[in-house]
Structure 1
Protein backbone atom coordinates (compact mmCIF):
# COMPACT_ATOMS: atom_id res chain seq x y z
CA UNK A 1 0.00 0.00 0.00
CA UNK A 2 1.38 3.42 -0.99
CA UNK A 3 1.14 6.27 1.52
CA UNK A 4 1.27 9.82 0.22
CA UNK A 5 1.44 12.95 2.35
CA UNK A 6 -2.34 13.41 2.25
CA UNK A 7 -2.97 9.96 3.71
CA UNK A 8 -0.32 10.44 6.41
CA UNK A 9 -1.95 13.75 7.36
CA UNK A 10 -5.33 12.02 7.64
CA UNK A 11 -3.95 9.25 9.83
CA UNK A 12 -2.16 11.72 12.08
CA UNK A 13 -5.33 13.82 12.40
CA UNK A 14 -7.31 10.80 13.58
CA UNK A 15 -4.54 9.93 16.05
CA UNK A 16 -4.57 13.50 17.32
CA UNK A 17 -8.29 13.30 18.11
CA UNK A 18 -7.76 10.03 20.00
CA UNK A 19 -4.99 11.55 22.13
CA UNK A 20 -6.99 14.71 22.82
CA UNK A 21 -10.09 12.76 23.84
CA UNK A 22 -8.11 10.61 26.27
CA UNK A 23 -6.29 13.64 27.67
CA UNK A 24 -9.50 15.57 28.29
CA UNK A 25 -10.92 12.54 30.11
CA UNK A 26 -7.86 12.62 32.34
CA UNK A 27 -8.35 16.36 32.95
CA UNK A 28 -11.94 15.75 34.09
CA UNK A 29 -10.63 13.14 36.48
CA UNK A 30 -7.70 15.13 37.91
CA UNK A 31 -8.70 18.76 37.37
CA UNK A 32 -5.33 19.55 35.80
CA UNK A 33 -3.30 19.07 32.61
CA UNK A 34 -3.42 20.81 29.24
CA UNK A 35 -4.06 20.49 25.52
CA UNK A 36 -2.34 23.16 23.43
CA UNK A 37 -3.01 23.40 19.67
CA UNK A 38 0.17 23.85 17.63
CA UNK A 39 0.71 23.97 13.84
CA UNK A 40 -2.12 21.58 13.03
CA UNK A 41 -1.23 19.24 15.86
CA UNK A 42 -1.43 19.45 19.63
CA UNK A 43 0.65 19.19 22.77
CA UNK A 44 -1.03 17.08 25.45
CA UNK A 45 -0.39 16.52 29.13
CA UNK A 46 -2.96 14.08 30.48
CA UNK A 47 -1.61 12.96 33.87
CA UNK A 48 1.69 12.18 35.57
CA UNK A 49 3.64 9.64 33.48
CA UNK A 50 0.71 9.11 31.12
CA UNK A 51 1.38 7.67 27.64
CA UNK A 52 -0.77 10.55 26.34
CA UNK A 53 1.80 13.16 27.38
CA UNK A 54 3.19 14.05 23.96
CA UNK A 55 3.06 16.28 20.92
CA UNK A 56 1.22 14.70 18.00
CA UNK A 57 -0.12 15.66 14.59
CA UNK A 58 2.76 17.92 13.61
CA UNK A 59 4.12 18.00 10.11
CA UNK A 60 1.25 19.01 7.87
CA UNK A 61 0.11 22.42 9.15
CA UNK A 62 3.27 24.46 8.93
CA UNK A 63 6.37 24.74 11.09
CA UNK A 64 5.73 25.68 14.74
CA UNK A 65 6.97 29.14 15.57
CA UNK A 66 9.57 29.79 18.23
CA UNK A 67 6.86 31.39 20.37
CA UNK A 68 4.63 28.31 20.07
CA UNK A 69 7.47 26.00 21.03
CA UNK A 70 8.41 28.28 23.94
CA UNK A 71 4.84 28.03 25.25
CA UNK A 72 4.78 24.24 24.98
CA UNK A 73 8.17 23.78 26.59
CA UNK A 74 7.20 26.04 29.50
CA UNK A 75 3.96 24.11 30.01
CA UNK A 76 5.72 20.75 30.24
CA UNK A 77 8.59 22.15 32.33
CA UNK A 78 6.11 23.57 34.84
CA UNK A 79 4.96 20.00 35.45
CA UNK A 80 8.47 18.55 35.46
CA UNK A 81 7.80 16.57 32.28
CA UNK A 82 9.83 16.18 29.09
CA UNK A 83 8.48 17.30 25.73
CA UNK A 84 8.04 14.21 23.53
CA UNK A 85 7.30 14.83 19.86
CA UNK A 86 6.11 12.03 17.58
CA UNK A 87 7.13 13.27 14.13
CA UNK A 88 6.29 11.34 10.93
CA UNK A 89 9.11 11.08 8.44
CA UNK A 90 6.69 12.45 5.81
CA UNK A 91 6.37 15.70 7.78
CA UNK A 92 7.87 18.99 6.72
CA UNK A 93 11.62 18.43 7.29
CA UNK A 94 12.03 21.97 8.59
CA UNK A 95 10.21 20.86 11.77
CA UNK A 96 12.90 18.30 12.66
CA UNK A 97 15.56 20.93 11.98
CA UNK A 98 13.81 23.45 14.24
CA UNK A 99 13.47 20.90 17.04
CA UNK A 100 17.07 19.68 16.92
CA UNK A 101 18.31 23.26 17.00
CA UNK A 102 16.34 23.67 20.25
CA UNK A 103 18.01 20.66 21.85
CA UNK A 104 15.55 17.86 21.09
CA UNK A 105 17.21 14.44 20.84
CA UNK A 106 16.18 11.46 18.75
CA UNK A 107 15.39 8.65 21.21
CA UNK A 108 13.48 6.03 19.24
CA UNK A 109 11.18 5.19 16.34
CA UNK A 110 7.80 3.58 15.85
CA UNK A 111 6.26 2.25 12.68
CA UNK A 112 2.81 3.00 11.27
CA UNK A 113 1.59 0.12 9.12
CA UNK A 114 -1.49 0.19 6.93
CA UNK A 115 -3.75 -1.87 4.73
CA UNK A 116 -6.33 -0.99 2.12
CA UNK A 117 -9.51 -2.48 3.54
CA UNK A 118 -11.54 -4.67 1.22
CA UNK A 119 -15.31 -4.55 0.97
CA UNK A 120 -15.75 -7.67 3.05
CA UNK A 121 -13.75 -10.15 5.10
CA UNK A 122 -14.53 -13.54 6.49
CA UNK A 123 -13.12 -13.63 10.00
CA UNK A 124 -10.86 -16.67 10.30
CA UNK A 125 -9.95 -18.23 13.65
CA UNK A 126 -7.87 -21.31 14.56
CA UNK A 127 -9.55 -24.34 16.05
CA UNK A 128 -10.51 -23.70 19.65
CA UNK A 129 -10.28 -19.91 19.33
CA UNK A 130 -13.26 -17.56 19.50
CA UNK A 131 -13.25 -13.76 19.09
CA UNK A 132 -16.20 -11.79 20.43
CA UNK A 133 -17.09 -8.20 21.35
CA UNK A 134 -16.40 -7.20 24.93
CA UNK A 135 -19.04 -4.95 26.50
CA UNK A 136 -18.95 -2.45 29.32
CA UNK A 137 -20.12 -5.13 31.75
CA UNK A 138 -16.73 -6.85 31.55
CA UNK A 139 -14.53 -3.79 31.08
CA UNK A 140 -12.51 -4.53 34.21
CA UNK A 141 -11.89 -8.11 33.05
CA UNK A 142 -10.72 -6.85 29.65
CA UNK A 143 -8.58 -4.15 31.23
CA UNK A 144 -6.82 -6.47 33.67
CA UNK A 145 -6.22 -9.01 30.92
CA UNK A 146 -4.54 -6.34 28.79
CA UNK A 147 -2.45 -5.10 31.72
CA UNK A 148 -1.30 -8.63 32.62
CA UNK A 149 -0.31 -9.34 29.02
CA UNK A 150 1.50 -6.05 28.49
CA UNK A 151 3.47 -6.63 31.70
CA UNK A 152 5.13 -9.64 30.04
CA UNK A 153 6.09 -8.24 26.62
CA UNK A 154 7.21 -10.32 23.68
CA UNK A 155 10.91 -9.55 23.33
CA UNK A 156 11.20 -9.82 19.55
CA UNK A 157 12.38 -6.66 17.81
CA UNK A 158 13.21 -3.24 19.21
CA UNK A 159 11.81 -2.84 22.74
CA UNK A 160 9.46 -0.01 23.65
CA UNK A 161 11.44 2.92 25.05
CA UNK A 162 8.74 3.50 27.65
CA UNK A 163 7.40 1.14 30.28
CA UNK A 164 4.52 2.18 32.49
CA UNK A 165 3.58 0.95 35.96
CA UNK A 166 0.45 -1.17 36.04
CA UNK A 167 -1.65 1.51 37.74
CA UNK A 168 -0.59 4.09 35.14
CA UNK A 169 -1.50 1.73 32.32
CA UNK A 170 -4.90 0.95 33.83
CA UNK A 171 -5.72 4.62 34.34
CA UNK A 172 -4.63 5.54 30.81
CA UNK A 173 -6.76 2.80 29.28
CA UNK A 174 -9.78 4.03 31.24
CA UNK A 175 -9.18 7.50 29.83
CA UNK A 176 -8.80 6.11 26.30
CA UNK A 177 -12.10 4.25 26.63
CA UNK A 178 -13.88 7.60 26.23
CA UNK A 179 -12.67 7.74 22.61
CA UNK A 180 -15.24 5.19 21.37
CA UNK A 181 -12.84 2.26 21.14
CA UNK A 182 -14.60 -1.05 20.52
CA UNK A 183 -13.19 -3.87 22.65
CA UNK A 184 -12.68 -7.55 21.80
CA UNK A 185 -12.03 -10.65 23.86
CA UNK A 186 -10.26 -13.75 22.54
CA UNK A 187 -11.14 -17.13 24.05
CA UNK A 188 -8.99 -20.23 23.62
CA UNK A 189 -10.63 -23.49 24.60
CA UNK A 190 -13.10 -21.44 26.61
CA UNK A 191 -10.48 -19.48 28.60
CA UNK A 192 -9.94 -15.75 28.16
CA UNK A 193 -6.68 -15.56 26.21
CA UNK A 194 -6.37 -12.08 24.73
CA UNK A 195 -7.94 -8.76 23.99
CA UNK A 196 -7.81 -5.90 21.51
CA UNK A 197 -9.36 -2.58 20.54
CA UNK A 198 -10.62 -0.92 17.36
CA UNK A 199 -11.51 2.72 16.72
CA UNK A 200 -12.98 4.00 13.46
CA UNK A 201 -13.04 7.63 12.28
CA UNK A 202 -12.83 9.43 8.93
CA UNK A 203 -12.66 6.12 7.11
CA UNK A 204 -9.60 5.10 9.14
CA UNK A 205 -9.65 1.99 11.33
CA UNK A 206 -7.19 2.28 14.19
CA UNK A 207 -6.14 -1.09 15.56
CA UNK A 208 -5.84 0.29 19.08
CA UNK A 209 -3.69 -2.26 20.83
CA UNK A 210 -3.84 -6.02 21.19
CA UNK A 211 -2.38 -8.38 23.76
CA UNK A 212 -2.25 -12.11 24.41
CA UNK A 213 -1.83 -13.70 27.82
CA UNK A 214 1.61 -15.36 28.01
CA UNK A 215 0.16 -18.87 28.45
CA UNK A 216 -1.76 -18.54 25.18
CA UNK A 217 0.88 -17.04 22.92
CA UNK A 218 1.89 -18.61 19.61
CA UNK A 219 -1.55 -20.13 19.06
CA UNK A 220 -2.87 -17.65 16.51
CA UNK A 221 -4.62 -15.29 18.95
CA UNK A 222 -3.12 -12.11 17.51
CA UNK A 223 -3.93 -13.13 13.95
CA UNK A 224 -7.49 -14.00 14.94
CA UNK A 225 -7.96 -10.63 16.63
CA UNK A 226 -6.66 -8.89 13.51
CA UNK A 227 -8.99 -10.91 11.30
CA UNK A 228 -12.07 -10.07 13.37
CA UNK A 229 -11.25 -6.38 13.47
CA UNK A 230 -10.61 -6.23 9.73
CA UNK A 231 -14.05 -7.72 9.15
CA UNK A 232 -15.66 -5.14 11.43
CA UNK A 233 -13.69 -2.28 9.87
CA UNK A 234 -14.97 -3.32 6.45
CA UNK A 235 -18.54 -3.44 7.76
CA UNK A 236 -18.04 0.09 9.17
CA UNK A 237 -17.06 1.33 5.72
CA UNK A 238 -13.44 2.07 6.53
CA UNK A 239 -10.98 2.45 3.66
CA UNK A 240 -7.67 2.13 5.50
CA UNK A 241 -6.59 0.18 8.56
CA UNK A 242 -3.57 1.32 10.58
CA UNK A 243 -1.55 -0.21 13.37
CA UNK A 244 1.42 1.21 15.26
CA UNK A 245 4.25 -1.15 16.20
CA UNK A 246 7.81 -1.19 17.35
CA UNK A 247 10.29 -1.90 14.54
CA UNK A 248 10.87 -5.62 13.88
CA UNK A 249 8.43 -6.64 16.63
CA UNK A 250 6.20 -9.69 16.57
CA UNK A 251 3.23 -7.33 16.27
CA UNK A 252 4.71 -5.91 13.08
CA UNK A 253 5.44 -9.40 11.79
CA UNK A 254 1.87 -10.56 12.46
CA UNK A 255 0.42 -7.46 10.81
CA UNK A 256 2.55 -7.87 7.70
CA UNK A 257 1.52 -11.49 7.43
CA UNK A 258 -2.06 -10.23 7.31
CA UNK A 259 -1.24 -7.86 4.44
CA UNK A 260 -0.25 -4.66 6.26
CA UNK A 261 2.70 -2.74 4.85
CA UNK A 262 4.92 -0.02 6.27
CA UNK A 263 3.40 3.40 5.55
CA UNK A 264 5.77 5.65 7.47
CA UNK A 265 7.92 5.89 10.56
CA UNK A 266 7.55 8.29 13.46
CA UNK A 267 10.72 9.68 15.01
CA UNK A 268 10.46 10.20 18.77
CA UNK A 269 12.21 13.47 19.58
CA UNK A 270 12.52 14.41 23.24
CA UNK A 271 13.60 17.49 25.15
CA UNK A 272 14.05 17.02 28.86
CA UNK A 273 13.49 19.92 31.26
CA UNK A 274 16.58 21.66 32.57
CA UNK A 275 17.52 20.46 36.06
CA UNK A 276 16.77 22.85 38.85
CA UNK A 277 19.87 24.97 39.37
CA UNK A 278 21.59 24.61 42.71
CA UNK A 279 21.61 27.60 45.07
Structure 2
Protein backbone atom coordinates (compact mmCIF):
# COMPACT_ATOMS: atom_id res chain seq x y z
CA UNK A 1 0.00 0.00 0.00
CA UNK A 2 1.42 3.36 -1.07
CA UNK A 3 1.00 6.15 1.46
CA UNK A 4 0.86 9.58 -0.14
CA UNK A 5 2.78 12.32 1.61
CA UNK A 6 0.56 15.40 2.06
CA UNK A 7 1.80 18.55 0.37
CA UNK A 8 3.58 20.73 2.91
CA UNK A 9 3.19 24.48 2.63
CA UNK A 10 5.85 26.74 4.11
CA UNK A 11 6.14 30.49 3.69
CA UNK A 12 7.92 30.18 0.31
CA UNK A 13 5.09 28.20 -1.28
CA UNK A 14 2.46 30.42 0.31
CA UNK A 15 4.24 33.48 -1.06
CA UNK A 16 4.23 31.95 -4.54
CA UNK A 17 0.51 31.16 -4.37
CA UNK A 18 -0.32 34.60 -3.00
CA UNK A 19 1.75 36.22 -5.76
CA UNK A 20 -0.26 34.39 -8.43
CA UNK A 21 -3.48 35.54 -6.75
CA UNK A 22 -2.26 39.14 -6.58
CA UNK A 23 -1.27 39.07 -10.26
CA UNK A 24 -4.75 37.89 -11.23
CA UNK A 25 -6.36 40.65 -9.18
CA UNK A 26 -4.14 43.32 -10.72
CA UNK A 27 -4.67 42.10 -14.28
CA UNK A 28 -8.44 41.74 -13.90
CA UNK A 29 -8.60 45.22 -12.39
CA UNK A 30 -6.69 46.61 -15.38
CA UNK A 31 -9.03 44.69 -17.73
CA UNK A 32 -12.03 46.36 -16.05
CA UNK A 33 -10.59 49.79 -16.80
CA UNK A 34 -9.80 48.78 -20.38
CA UNK A 35 -13.35 47.45 -20.82
CA UNK A 36 -14.81 50.77 -19.68
CA UNK A 37 -12.14 52.80 -21.51
CA UNK A 38 -11.55 55.00 -18.47
CA UNK A 39 -9.05 55.45 -15.65
CA UNK A 40 -11.43 54.92 -12.73
CA UNK A 41 -9.92 52.56 -10.20
CA UNK A 42 -6.39 51.36 -9.56
CA UNK A 43 -4.08 48.42 -8.94
CA UNK A 44 -0.96 49.31 -6.99
CA UNK A 45 1.70 47.33 -5.21
CA UNK A 46 1.85 47.41 -1.43
CA UNK A 47 4.34 45.42 0.65
CA UNK A 48 4.57 42.52 -1.80
CA UNK A 49 0.82 42.42 -2.45
CA UNK A 50 -1.61 44.44 -4.53
CA UNK A 51 -4.34 46.91 -3.63
CA UNK A 52 -7.02 46.94 -6.31
CA UNK A 53 -10.29 48.69 -7.11
CA UNK A 54 -11.92 47.49 -10.35
CA UNK A 55 -15.46 48.88 -10.13
CA UNK A 56 -18.32 49.18 -7.64
CA UNK A 57 -19.04 45.92 -5.76
CA UNK A 58 -16.40 43.97 -7.74
CA UNK A 59 -14.76 40.84 -6.28
CA UNK A 60 -11.48 42.44 -7.40
CA UNK A 61 -11.81 45.30 -4.92
CA UNK A 62 -9.37 44.19 -2.21
CA UNK A 63 -5.83 43.94 -0.96
CA UNK A 64 -4.36 40.54 -1.82
CA UNK A 65 -1.01 38.90 -1.23
CA UNK A 66 -0.10 41.14 1.69
CA UNK A 67 2.51 40.15 4.25
CA UNK A 68 5.15 38.39 2.16
CA UNK A 69 7.13 41.45 1.07
CA UNK A 70 7.55 43.25 4.34
CA UNK A 71 5.07 45.14 6.48
CA UNK A 72 3.45 48.22 4.92
CA UNK A 73 4.13 51.49 6.66
CA UNK A 74 1.22 53.27 8.21
CA UNK A 75 1.64 56.01 5.61
CA UNK A 76 1.35 53.47 2.77
CA UNK A 77 -1.78 52.01 4.30
CA UNK A 78 -3.33 55.43 4.85
CA UNK A 79 -2.72 56.26 1.18
CA UNK A 80 -4.43 53.06 0.02
CA UNK A 81 -7.34 53.54 2.42
CA UNK A 82 -7.86 57.04 1.07
CA UNK A 83 -7.87 55.74 -2.51
CA UNK A 84 -10.65 53.26 -1.64
CA UNK A 85 -12.53 55.86 0.39
CA UNK A 86 -12.49 58.31 -2.51
CA UNK A 87 -14.33 55.70 -4.58
CA UNK A 88 -16.84 55.01 -1.82
CA UNK A 89 -15.48 51.60 -0.90
CA UNK A 90 -14.31 49.95 2.31
CA UNK A 91 -10.95 48.16 2.22
CA UNK A 92 -11.27 44.35 2.10
CA UNK A 93 -8.06 42.48 2.91
CA UNK A 94 -7.21 38.80 2.40
CA UNK A 95 -4.47 37.90 4.88
CA UNK A 96 -2.83 34.47 4.88
CA UNK A 97 -2.03 32.93 8.25
CA UNK A 98 1.52 32.34 6.94
CA UNK A 99 2.04 36.04 6.31
CA UNK A 100 4.04 38.24 8.66
CA UNK A 101 1.97 38.47 11.90
CA UNK A 102 2.93 42.12 12.18
CA UNK A 103 0.59 42.88 9.27
CA UNK A 104 -2.40 41.57 11.21
CA UNK A 105 -1.35 43.57 14.22
CA UNK A 106 -1.15 46.72 12.09
CA UNK A 107 -4.57 46.16 10.53
CA UNK A 108 -6.42 45.35 13.76
CA UNK A 109 -4.74 48.32 15.38
CA UNK A 110 -6.30 50.49 12.69
CA UNK A 111 -9.78 49.07 13.35
CA UNK A 112 -10.03 46.40 10.67
CA UNK A 113 -12.57 43.73 11.64
CA UNK A 114 -12.71 40.04 10.85
CA UNK A 115 -15.52 39.10 8.42
CA UNK A 116 -14.68 35.48 7.62
CA UNK A 117 -12.16 32.91 6.48
CA UNK A 118 -11.27 30.98 3.35
CA UNK A 119 -9.09 27.92 2.88
CA UNK A 120 -6.35 27.50 0.29
CA UNK A 121 -5.75 23.90 -0.79
CA UNK A 122 -3.08 22.49 -3.08
CA UNK A 123 -2.03 19.36 -4.93
CA UNK A 124 1.47 18.49 -6.14
CA UNK A 125 1.36 17.53 -9.83
CA UNK A 126 4.89 16.12 -9.95
CA UNK A 127 4.61 12.55 -11.25
CA UNK A 128 0.81 12.67 -11.17
CA UNK A 129 -1.02 10.90 -13.98
CA UNK A 130 -3.88 12.74 -15.63
CA UNK A 131 -7.08 11.45 -13.99
CA UNK A 132 -9.99 10.05 -15.95
CA UNK A 133 -13.23 12.04 -15.66
CA UNK A 134 -16.30 10.09 -14.53
CA UNK A 135 -18.58 8.75 -17.27
CA UNK A 136 -21.73 10.61 -18.26
CA UNK A 137 -20.31 14.12 -17.86
CA UNK A 138 -18.68 15.95 -20.78
CA UNK A 139 -16.32 18.82 -20.00
CA UNK A 140 -15.07 21.23 -22.66
CA UNK A 141 -13.84 24.80 -22.97
CA UNK A 142 -16.58 27.41 -22.82
CA UNK A 143 -17.12 29.30 -26.08
CA UNK A 144 -17.26 33.09 -26.12
CA UNK A 145 -20.99 33.00 -26.84
CA UNK A 146 -21.58 30.79 -23.78
CA UNK A 147 -20.38 33.30 -21.16
CA UNK A 148 -23.97 34.06 -20.15
CA UNK A 149 -24.61 30.34 -19.71
CA UNK A 150 -21.64 30.08 -17.34
CA UNK A 151 -22.83 33.23 -15.56
CA UNK A 152 -26.31 31.74 -15.07
CA UNK A 153 -24.74 28.67 -13.45
CA UNK A 154 -22.57 30.80 -11.16
CA UNK A 155 -25.49 33.00 -10.10
CA UNK A 156 -27.62 29.94 -9.38
CA UNK A 157 -24.82 28.52 -7.23
CA UNK A 158 -24.56 31.79 -5.29
CA UNK A 159 -28.31 31.84 -4.68
CA UNK A 160 -28.31 28.16 -3.65
CA UNK A 161 -25.07 27.67 -1.70
CA UNK A 162 -23.81 24.57 0.09
CA UNK A 163 -25.70 23.82 3.27
CA UNK A 164 -22.51 22.40 4.77
CA UNK A 165 -19.66 24.38 6.28
CA UNK A 166 -19.28 28.11 6.75
CA UNK A 167 -21.37 30.27 4.45
CA UNK A 168 -19.47 32.70 2.27
CA UNK A 169 -19.83 36.36 3.20
CA UNK A 170 -19.36 37.39 -0.44
CA UNK A 171 -22.37 38.35 -2.52
CA UNK A 172 -21.99 40.10 -5.87
CA UNK A 173 -24.67 41.55 -8.20
CA UNK A 174 -25.21 39.60 -11.42
CA UNK A 175 -23.97 42.36 -13.73
CA UNK A 176 -20.82 42.85 -11.65
CA UNK A 177 -20.20 39.10 -11.55
CA UNK A 178 -20.62 38.96 -15.34
CA UNK A 179 -18.10 41.76 -15.79
CA UNK A 180 -15.66 39.96 -13.47
CA UNK A 181 -15.95 36.76 -15.53
CA UNK A 182 -15.25 38.62 -18.75
CA UNK A 183 -12.36 40.51 -17.20
CA UNK A 184 -10.83 37.25 -15.90
CA UNK A 185 -11.25 35.61 -19.28
CA UNK A 186 -9.48 38.51 -20.98
CA UNK A 187 -6.39 37.83 -18.82
CA UNK A 188 -6.03 34.29 -20.18
CA UNK A 189 -8.20 32.37 -17.72
CA UNK A 190 -9.69 29.25 -19.28
CA UNK A 191 -13.38 28.69 -18.62
CA UNK A 192 -15.00 25.27 -18.89
CA UNK A 193 -18.55 23.98 -19.21
CA UNK A 194 -19.72 20.61 -17.95
CA UNK A 195 -22.61 19.02 -19.81
CA UNK A 196 -24.91 16.06 -19.23
CA UNK A 197 -26.81 14.94 -22.32
CA UNK A 198 -25.63 18.13 -24.07
CA UNK A 199 -27.19 20.32 -21.37
CA UNK A 200 -24.80 22.73 -19.55
CA UNK A 201 -24.90 21.81 -15.85
CA UNK A 202 -21.66 23.16 -14.41
CA UNK A 203 -18.73 25.48 -14.91
CA UNK A 204 -15.22 26.05 -13.61
CA UNK A 205 -12.12 28.00 -14.58
CA UNK A 206 -8.37 27.45 -14.76
CA UNK A 207 -5.62 30.03 -14.68
CA UNK A 208 -2.00 29.04 -15.29
CA UNK A 209 0.82 31.26 -14.02
CA UNK A 210 4.26 30.65 -12.56
CA UNK A 211 3.85 26.89 -12.88
CA UNK A 212 0.70 27.10 -10.76
CA UNK A 213 -2.73 25.94 -11.89
CA UNK A 214 -5.32 28.05 -10.09
CA UNK A 215 -8.85 26.58 -10.01
CA UNK A 216 -11.78 28.98 -9.51
CA UNK A 217 -15.37 29.74 -10.47
CA UNK A 218 -16.79 26.28 -9.75
CA UNK A 219 -20.57 25.91 -9.87
CA UNK A 220 -23.16 23.19 -10.52
CA UNK A 221 -26.88 23.62 -11.18
CA UNK A 222 -28.96 22.57 -8.19
CA UNK A 223 -30.78 19.71 -9.93
CA UNK A 224 -27.50 18.18 -11.13
CA UNK A 225 -25.54 18.22 -7.90
CA UNK A 226 -24.13 14.96 -6.48
CA UNK A 227 -23.78 13.55 -9.99
CA UNK A 228 -20.03 13.92 -10.42
CA UNK A 229 -20.07 17.27 -12.22
CA UNK A 230 -17.40 18.90 -10.07
CA UNK A 231 -15.33 15.69 -10.10
CA UNK A 232 -15.36 15.85 -13.91
CA UNK A 233 -14.40 19.54 -13.92
CA UNK A 234 -11.54 18.89 -11.49
CA UNK A 235 -10.27 15.91 -13.54
CA UNK A 236 -10.29 17.84 -16.83
CA UNK A 237 -8.54 20.88 -15.36
CA UNK A 238 -5.94 18.67 -13.66
CA UNK A 239 -5.22 16.97 -16.97
CA UNK A 240 -4.81 20.33 -18.71
CA UNK A 241 -2.61 21.63 -15.89
CA UNK A 242 -0.34 18.59 -16.13
CA UNK A 243 -0.16 18.96 -19.92
CA UNK A 244 0.83 22.62 -19.46
CA UNK A 245 3.74 21.63 -17.22
CA UNK A 246 2.38 22.95 -13.92
CA UNK A 247 3.87 21.46 -10.78
CA UNK A 248 1.10 22.49 -8.39
CA UNK A 249 -2.66 23.06 -8.51
CA UNK A 250 -4.45 25.30 -6.02
CA UNK A 251 -8.02 26.15 -5.15
CA UNK A 252 -9.74 28.38 -2.60
CA UNK A 253 -12.92 27.33 -0.79
CA UNK A 254 -15.07 28.40 2.11
CA UNK A 255 -14.22 26.30 5.19
CA UNK A 256 -15.93 22.94 5.67
CA UNK A 257 -18.00 23.10 2.49
CA UNK A 258 -18.89 20.48 -0.10
CA UNK A 259 -16.47 22.27 -2.43
CA UNK A 260 -13.63 21.66 0.01
CA UNK A 261 -14.67 18.03 0.40
CA UNK A 262 -14.76 17.55 -3.38
CA UNK A 263 -11.20 18.77 -3.93
CA UNK A 264 -9.85 16.88 -0.91
CA UNK A 265 -11.31 13.68 -2.35
CA UNK A 266 -9.21 14.40 -5.44
CA UNK A 267 -6.06 14.59 -3.30
CA UNK A 268 -5.83 18.31 -2.50
CA UNK A 269 -4.36 19.12 0.91
CA UNK A 270 -5.26 22.03 3.16
CA UNK A 271 -2.28 24.41 2.90
CA UNK A 272 -3.28 27.51 4.84
CA UNK A 273 -6.15 29.79 5.75
CA UNK A 274 -6.82 33.40 4.87
CA UNK A 275 -8.50 35.75 7.30
CA UNK A 276 -10.91 38.12 5.55
CA UNK A 277 -10.70 41.58 7.08
CA UNK A 278 -12.42 44.86 6.29
CA UNK A 279 -11.81 48.43 7.28
CA UNK A 280 -14.27 49.95 9.72
CA offsets per residue over residues 219-240 of structure 1, 9 Å max, x none?
0101111011111110110011
User: Match of 2:199?
Assistant: 191
1:138 positional shift: 2.8
Q: RMSD value over aligned CA atoms?
A: 1.4
Aligned positions of 1:260-271 closer than 5 A: 260-271=268-279
Q: 1:145 aligns with which of 142, 149, 153?
A: 153
User: Match of 1:2?
Assistant: 8
**Superposed structure 1 runs of 4+ greater than 4 Å apart:** none
Is 1:29 matched up with 2:35? Answer: yes
Q: 1:112 aligns with which of 96, 99, 120?
A: 120
Q: Is the 8 A contact 2:17 2:212 kept in 1?
A: yes
User: Match of 2:49?
Assistant: 41
Tell me how far apart the structure 1 counterparts of residues 269 and 76 of structure 2 sit (CA, whole Å): 35
Partner of 2:29: helix, strand, or coil?
Answer: helix
Q: Is the 8 A contact 2:59 2:180 kept in 1?
A: yes
Tell me how far apart the structure 2 counterparts of residues 115 and 57 of structure 1 sit (CA, whole Å): 20
Tell me how far apart the structure 1 counterparts of residues 97 and 157 of structure 2 sit (CA, whole Å): 30
Name the CA shift for 1:3/1:33 in 2 (closer, same or farther; >3 Å): same
Tell me how far apart the structure 1 counterparts of residues 105 and 128 of structure 2 sit (CA, whole Å): 43
Partner of 1:185: helix, strand, or coil?
Answer: strand
Q: 1:167 aligns with which of 175, 183, 187?
A: 175
Is 1:214 matched up with 2:214? Answer: no
Tell me how far apart the structure 2 counterparts of residues 228 and 121 of structure 1 sit (CA, whole Å): 12
TM-score scaled by length of structure 1: 0.93
1:48 positional shift: 0.3
Tell me how far apart the structure 2 counterparts of residues 94 and 257 of structure 1 sit (CA, whole Å): 35
* Number of equivalences: 272
User: Match of 2:22?
Assistant: 16
Q: Is the 8 A contact 2:151 2:177 kept in 1?
A: no
Stretches of structure 2 lacking an aligned partner (at least 5 in a row): 1-6
Q: Is the 8 A contact 1:121 1:230 kept in 2?
A: no
Q: Which moved more, 1:106-115 or 1:30-39?
A: 30-39
Q: Is the 8 A contact 1:147 1:170 kept in 2?
A: no
Stretches of structure 1 lacking an aligned partner (at least 5 in a row): 273-279
User: Match of 2:3?
Assistant: none
1:26 positional shift: 1.1
Tell me how far apart the structure 2 counterparts of residues 35 and 115 of structure 1 sit (CA, whole Å): 29
Q: Which moved more, 1:29-38 or 1:75-84?
A: 29-38
Q: Is the 8 A contact 1:123 1:224 kept in 2?
A: no
Name the CA shift for 1:188/1:118 in 2 (closer, same or farther; >3 Å): farther
TM-score scaled by length of structure 2: 0.93
Tell me how far apart the structure 1 counterparts of residues 130 and 53 of structure 2 sit (CA, whole Å): 40
CA offsets per residue over residues 211-260 of structure 1, 9 Å max, x none?
11111101010111101111111011001100000000110000101100
Tell me how far apart the structure 1 counterparts of residues 168 and 267 of structure 2 sit (CA, whole Å): 23
Partner of 1:86: helix, strand, or coil?
Answer: strand
1:106 positional shift: 1.3
